[in-house]
Amino acid sequence: MPTKHAVLSASSSYRWLACPPSAKECAKLPDTSSEFARQGTDAHTLCEFKVKTALGQKLEDPTKSLTYFDEEMAECTDEYAQFVMECLAAAKVSCKDPLIMIEQRLDFSKWVPGGFGTGDCLIVADDTLTVIDYKHGLGVLVDAEKNPQMMCYALGALNLFDGIYDIRRVSMTIFQPRRDNVSTCTMSKEELLQWAETVLKPAAELAAKGEGEYKAGDHCRFCKIKATCRKRAEYNLELARYDFAVPSTLQDEEIEA
């Protein structure tokens, strides 16, 4: 059975926040799973197993069923499980009994119509909510600073726990071992909620209706309609014009001529 994807997913939020109408256009096209995505899915399966095992759960080892398992994946997922357990140990210093949840479905539809996703790891320790996301990718270095995917996940986690815990801070970490990248962004709950109301929600409402302006930029990289997008073609043409702009002063060969 194919996995259900949200039209306004957290993983594509970087794109639809910048270019709201692209969301509905992309939703019209079928999902295509790359080898890199399937490799990432296998790595996440192994991450989940190793963390839950470290937490004392008895589970069947999925390694033999993984298509893309190799020694590098084994090492990366070991590092991730160790990192999560270190974060949990650090949380226990200030909180007697922190809550940890693995592969938790998160609903942020309060701000994004139909918005949901899955948090790799959540740790709630009194006034601090920690969200950790594993990235197996090697091609793109992922930064946690003001990362909209992580902020959507944090909002979904707040939706679950804010009435139970007096959360004041949110810490969001990208763990990307193949790039030796551990990136963390921490913000106050108020700052996150202000972003949700003033930036996320208005853009999501436009995106859900297929409205707003098309805008080209770095966010086009993983867009399904980039090959036929007029705005992107105009953007690339403008870049080309800039690259080949006639210099304001004559070159030596022109002076000689």
**Domain edges within the chain:** 16-213, 218-245
Question: Residue 188 pLDDT more than 60?
Answer: yes
**Which pLDDT tens digit goes with each residue over 3-46?**
456 789 999 999 999 999 998 888 888 877 789 999 999 999 99
Residue 221 in tokens: 């990289």
User: What CATH number was assigned to the domain covering residues 16-213?
Assistant: 3.90.320
Indicate the pLDDT class of residue 249, thresholds 50, 70 and 90.
low
pLDDT: which is higher, 170 or 241 = 170
Sign of CA dihedral 22, 171, 131, 80: positive
d(CA 235, CA 239): 6
Reported as a single tens digit per residue, the pLDDT across 121-151 is: 999 998 999 999 999 999 899 999 999 999 9
Q: How far is CA 74 from the centre of its chain?
A: 22
CA angle at residue 115 from 113 to 119, to 5 degrees? 165
